[in-house]
Amino acid sequence: MALQQTLVLIKPDGVARGLTGEITKRFERIGLKIVALKLVRVNMDHAKQHYTEDITERHGEKVRDNLLNFITEGPVVAMILEGVDAIANVRKIVGSTESKSASPGTIRGDFSHVSYSHADEKEIPVKNVIHASADETDAKNETALWFSIDEICDYKRTDECHVF
């Protein structure tokens, strides 16, 4: 059993569209536990720590600039979710990064649809509602970036008896 913690961000488009409750419900419904949660306005310095230079190396400076501007344009809901195989389970619920490729029933499949090509043509970010840590390394780095240790709560959910 791999008990893990992972970071999820409801991006400014998700917050502005009032999707926070629906998104949070999807994670809690499968038994993932919210151990940290806050609404934040992200400043550019923090955004650059989240969207590091490696994005520029992989996708180009324009993509990184779009991501930085997007995540700082409005409030973001940041949360740490905990559970068995949390990283993989969250990624499955979130869906493909490119919204148009995300399966129906996933968060991105249900709440966004813009393609990379459309975003590139319009020179805008792909507004795909949500961010989820990609792997264990990212989860460890991102949770430490977004939350201090004293912001993470340890408690028992009543349904944990079905897991442990």
* Catalytic residue chosen out of the listed positions 46, 50, 59, 131: 131
Q: Which of 75, 67, 25, 73 is nearest to 48 (CA)?
A: 67
51-98 pLDDT, tens per residue? Answer: 988 887 888 888 899 999 999 999 999 999 999 999 999 999 999 999
| Residue 15 included in any domain | yes
Give the residue numbers spanning the domain of 39: 3-149
Give the residues across from 76 on adjacent strands.
40
Q: What is the pTM of this model?
A: 0.93
The answer to whether 131 is a known catalytic residue is: yes
Stretch (H or E) spanning 27: helix 20-29
Q: Measuring CA to CA, how many Å separate 164 from each of 26, 43, 63, 75, 88?
A: 21, 39, 42, 36, 19
14-33 pLDDT, tens per residue? Answer: 999 999 999 999 999 999 99
Region of residue 41 (left: phi > 0; alpha: psi -120 to 50; beta: else): beta
Stretch (H or E) spanning 40: strand 33-41
Q: Which of 40, 26, 57, 50 is nearest to 144 (CA)?
A: 50
| Residue 51 included in any domain | yes
Q: How many domains does the chain have?
A: 1
| Residue 8 included in any domain | yes
Q: Identify the pLDDT of residue 161.
A: 78
Torsion 114-118-124-125 (CA) sign: positive
112-148 pLDDT, tens per residue? Answer: 988 889 988 988 888 999 999 999 999 999 999 999 9
| Residue 157 included in any domain | no
